[in-house]
Chain A
Amino acid sequence: MNRSMTRRTALLAAAVAVAALVATRPTQAQDTLNAYSIWPENWARPMLEEFTKASGIKVNFLRFSSGEALARVIAEKGNPKIDVLFGGPVETFAAGVKEGVFEAYKPPSFAALPARFRHVDGMWVAIADDPLVFMTNRKFLAENKLKAPASWEDLLHPAYKNGLQMADARTSGTAVTRIFSILEVNGRDEQKAFAYMKKLRGNIQLYTKSGGGGTLPVGLGQAAGGIFFIVDALDTKAKGYDVQISFPKEGIGTAAEGIALIKGAKNSAPAKKLIDWASSPAMQSLFAVHKINFVPAHPEVKTEASLAAVLKDAKIFAIDDAYAGANRKRIVDRWVAEILP
């Protein structure tokens, strides 16, 4: 027998075997939908299971941080694999609108939502609100005889040198919200804001890929502190790590968390049902039940008492999404060029 022919046959056989074994899985039942979740699994899973309980619709989902999720949605534009983009800061959704990956849909709650919790044409709606906070390690504070930082200036204290972890603006919506917070407290004076960030840079130990990436190091005391979304910070505390949450007196930003229908979604009827449910009190009243520290976006749902207590005296402002959307790319590019190196 000819040698090269045998090799060919063997390879062909292998290829056929693989193809046969890997042949696509059985097609999904009618009452199923697919989603990318930007919310971490420990918050998305209980919510989506509640949805299945309420509606009988099964949700297959996969978790990605906001940058990755959006990159996938854009790459899959010609052949969408999912129906809904679930959770994640509103900047991500604004970028998606620009790329034309969403389909407008106005759920019943649309009219009830405040303007900053909905896209004007219904490209996305908000399902929660998520303020930023300062989080510091209490052992670190005690050792350095410091009070929890109560001003943006406090983070420049030399004791924090090489001690802060916060998110990288290239990947993280948390970081973008942080940078726009700094711009706001400096009256949108970019010179002043970037001068501050340059000073802050000296105290940064690590810029993390995802918004919550620094919470564990701060909890363990490997880092002194950082700036995180409240939902991540309170979860760190709930896990038993000895951390302190505080707010700057100048104020700090909050980001709406969104949901959107993907253009060309193959299961658009069940997808719309999920959007109806998530944007209504039906889901948002469950945050408290599952101890998820998001602030509800729907005006009819009350913020859970202990979360409200944390937020009581904090000065929190919404990031102006028109301003943020228009300047996002330029500001992030400038951050990469001037602050990161």
Chain B
Amino acid sequence: MLWSLLALFVVYPLSAMFGQAFLVDGRPSLGPLLSALGQPNHRAALANSLVLGTLVGIVGTTIGFLFAFTATRCNLPDRWVRLLDAATLLPLISPPFTTSIAFVFSFGPRGLITYELLGIKGTNVYGLASTLAAEVLTYFPIAYLALRPVLAAIGGNIEEMAFSLGSSRWRVFRTVTLPLAVPGLANAFLLLFAASLADFATPLILAGSRFPVLPTEAYLQITGLFDLKGGAVLSFLLLVPAAIVFLLQRHWVGRGHFVTVTGKAGPQSALDGVSRGARCLLVALCATVALSILYLYALLLYASVVVAFGANHALTLKHYVVIFTEGWKAIKDTLIIAFLGMPVGGLFGVLVGYLVARGEFRGRQAMELVSMANYALPGTIVGIAYLIAFNDPPIALTGGALIIVACYVFRYSPTGVRTTVALLKQIDRGIEEASRSLGAGSFTTFRRVTLPLVLPAFFAGLGVVFIRSMTAISATIFLVSIDWILITVRILENMTELSLGPAAAFSVFVIAVVMLVTTAIGALLRRLPGPPGIATVAGYGGG
């Protein structure tokens, strides 16, 4: 069943796409690939994408780890932790290009920061630096969400043991915490690298014409030159690095087995894992990042309540009137699709993750690879592949909501898959074996033992599918139709129509809705029976 779904919604459209890329008049050919590589612009785009993806992966994982470590190890008051969470939530729950626009306002030749504040003239906002900064601010929360449960699960007992054996804090961090976090770190890096490779919207606005990247080139190739073949070839170029990083990461993580949630674990003790100085430094760093995020979003909020940003700063609510009248259909459609995709995506992520981590069957690794494919590929290509594959009979789905829901589920459940795998790698199989040897059936074991343990991953996956259903654009821009339109597509259109106000108002609305829903999930989770530690973690995972 899982296989047939994966075959239908991952393998089949991608095959259709690769048919486009490598078949010339029905015969296999490398011609299109070679001619794409012959263009200097495309070669530059490939190199730029790799550089950008790697940097986003490294910087984003570092910041994500910093946040996760600060939140779990610094004994911060709850209020502070909530503040950190709120700041990291913002980029996750808004369409990526809204940050980009705030960047353009802030750092250009007339930017609020570079010109108005610092008086620097002739700055250039377009290029690697600002694309990197915008993508890191947008995607590091994924790393934070992925790493936080992992760090929390590593827990205090092992570290405490090391302390009581006389290790210094730094030594514990280096020899215990960090190695145990390696699967999580690799997981975070992969997610960020893939997210950067797939993002066409941020570079579209910030990369400028001297720093072309592949997803944007592929998007322009398809939308502008009507060149499906060229776009397919460029996407193949993108798939290669994504697949290599993915396989490397598996190899690297697969070497060691770290079991930290054992049946023998005692009550968690409060940790004092960092010194005063380190704690101040960590909090200061996190606060800086959090404040810059809050600044960008304050700017966005401001743009939504003035008549015309930069020209007429009289306060008005007319942009909100516009989105709730002319934009109402987009709002309604998006909400229906997001609420449909959410539970399906969460469930799917955990099931595939469970099978990959615990299953013993042929093709386990192939299943993992296939389940990641739609995430690693640029959304533009997934969208076009869906359009080609599902437009005509036998499987005509375009124009409906099902295809958009399917696209989100198969594209964004990998977060749930990876988180499930990372969590399960930390859970001793002995717990499940003990349950079975005590006479519980395998289903009971799954429901009573494994399921509660992977619940954080379920809610992380579900949360990401919901958030992305509200905010993603790159794949679904090709799948919207007369009957089903999405808010994000309206935002991008508004931006190119000089209707910045409605675009900002839409963004604020999206952020508000997602906050509401994720908060509700968190509150619900805290009421669920189960070990308190897990419920807390899951609450954050839900963000």
On A, residues with C-beta under 8 Å from B are 1-3, 6-8, 10-12, 14-15, 18-19, 21-22, 24-25, 34, 40-42, 45, 60-65, 67-68, 70-72, 74-76, 78-79, 81-82, 95, 99, 162-163, 168-172, 204-210, 212-213, 215-217, 219-223, 232, 235-236, 239-242, 332, 336-337, 340-341
A19 touches B402 (CB 8 A): yes
Contact for A216 among B398, B405, B498, CB less than 8 A: B498
Contact of A212 among B384, B401, B441, B497 (CB under 8 A): B497
B175 CB within 8 Å of chain A: no
Would B311 and A242 count as touching, CB distance under 8 A?
yes
State in angstroms the CA–CA spacing of A168 and B441 once bound together: 62
Q: Which residues of B contact A63 (CB under 8 A)?
A: 493, 497
Q: Contact: A206 with B209, CB < 8 Å? A: yes
**Chain B residues with Cβ under 8 A from A76's Cβ?**
391, 398
Query: Which residues from chain A contact B209 at a C-beta distance below 8 Å?
Result: 168, 204-207, 340
A sample of 7 inter-chain contacts (CB < 8 A) reads A22-B405, A171-B223, A215-B498, A221-B310, A222-B105, A235-B498, A336-B39
Let me know if A240 and B499 touch, CB within 8 A: no
Q: Contacts A18-B340, A239-B308 given: A3-B442 contact, CB under 8 Å?
A: yes
Q: Are B208 and A219 in contact (CB under 8 A)?
A: no
Q: Is the CB of B482 within 8 A of A210?
A: no
A206 to B131, CA, bound (A): 14
- List 17 additional A-B contacts (Cβ < 8 Å) besides A3-B446, A168-B224: A8-B1, A21-B340, A40-B497, A62-B481, A63-B497, A65-B496, A74-B226, A78-B392, A204-B209, A205-B126, A206-B126, A207-B209, A212-B498, A219-B311, A220-B309, A222-B125, A341-B41
Q: Is the CB of A22 within 8 A of B497?
A: no
- CB A181 to nearest CB in B, in angstroms, measures 19
Q: Which stretch (B62-70, B107-115, B272-280, B523-531) binds chain A?
A: B107-115
Among A11, A212, A336, contact of B5 (Cβ-Cβ < 8 Å): A11
**A332 contact set on B, CB distance < 8 A:** 225
**Chain A residues whose CB sits within 8 angstroms of the CB of B392 once the complex forms:** 78-79
Q: Complex: how many Å from CA A273 to CA B272?
A: 76
Q: Which chain B residue lies CB-closest to A239?
A: B308
Let me know if B351 and A62 touch, CB within 8 A.
no
Query: Using Cβ atoms and an 8 Å threshold, which residues of chain A touch B496?
Result: 40, 65, 208-210, 212-213
User: Which residues of A are found within 8 Å of B307, using beta-carbon distances?
Assistant: 240
Q: Closest residue of chain B to A32, judged by CB?
A: B482
Contacts known (A3-B446, A22-B400); A163 close to B109, Cβ less than 8 A? yes
Residues of B within 8 A of A (CB): 1-2, 5, 39-41, 44, 104-105, 108-111, 122, 124-126, 204, 208-209, 220-226, 307-312, 326, 340, 343-344, 347-348, 351, 384, 387-388, 391-392, 396, 398-402, 405, 441-443, 446, 477-478, 480-483, 485, 493-500
Interchain CB contact under 8 A, A241 and B396:
no
Assuming A12-B1, A81-B398, A217-B108, is B482 touching A34 (CB within 8 A)?
Answer: yes
Q: In the complex, what distance in Å separates the CA atom of A70 from the CA atom of B225?
A: 10
Q: Nearest Cβ distance between residue A84 and chain B, in whole angstroms?
A: 11
Q: Which 9 A-B pairs have the closest CB atoms?
A: A170-B224, A171-B224, A240-B311, A221-B110, A222-B108, A40-B497, A67-B224, A210-B496, A220-B310
Instruction: Compute how far the CA of A61 lies from the CA of B388 in the bound complex, rounded to whole angstroms.
Output: 22
Q: Please, which residues of chain A bring their CB within 8 A of the CB of B400? A: 22, 24
- In whole angstroms, how far apart are the Cα atoms of A40 and B483 in the complex? 19
Once bound together, how far apart are the Cα atoms of A76 and B477, in whole Å? 15
Bound together, the chains give a CA A60 to CA B480 distance in angstroms of: 13
Q: A14, A21, A72, A216: which has the most chain B beta carbons within 10 Å?
A: A216
Q: Which residues of A contact B111 (CB under 8 A)?
A: 222
* A11-B351 contact in complex given A209-B220, A222-B110, A240-B312, C-beta closer than 8 Å: yes
Q: Is the CB of A170 within 8 A of B498?
A: no
Q: Chain B nearest CB: distance from A267 CB in Å?
A: 11
Q: Do A1 and B497 touch across chains, with their CB atoms under 8 A apart?
A: no
Question: How near does chain A come to B322, taking the closest CB pair, in angstroms?
Answer: 10
CB proximity of A292 to chain B, nearest CB, Å: 13
Please report the C-alpha to C-alpha distance between residue A2 and residue B398 in the assembled complex, in whole angstroms: 36
Docked pose: A246 CA to B199 CA in angstroms: 37
Given A19-B402, A22-B402, A340-B41, CB of A241 within 8 Å of CB of B493: no
Most buried by B among A14, A169, A172, A204: A14
Q: Is the CB of A220 within 8 A of B110?
A: yes
Contacts of A14 in B (CB 8 A): 343-344, 347
CB-CB under 8 A from B40, the residues of chain A are 341
Residues of B close to A210: CB separation below 8 A: 496
Quick check: B482 and A206 within 8 Å, CB to CB? no
> Whole-angstrom distance from the CB of A49 to the nearest CB of chain B?
10
Q: A8-B1, A241-B308 are in contact. Are A62 and B41 (CB under 8 A)?
A: no
Which residue of A has the minimal Cβ distance to B111? A222
Q: How far is B40's CA from A68's CA once the two chains are assembled, in angstroms?
A: 25
Instruction: Say whether, besides A2-B443, A41-B326, A62-B481, A67 and B226 are in contact (CB < 8 Å).
Output: yes
* Chain A residues positioned under 8 Å from B208 (CB to CB): 205-206
CA distance A23 to B111 in the complex (A): 48
Q: Which of A41, A75, A170, A220 contacts B493 (CB 8 A)?
A: A41
Instruction: Find out whether the CB atom of B498 lies under 8 angstroms from the CB atom of A236.
Output: yes
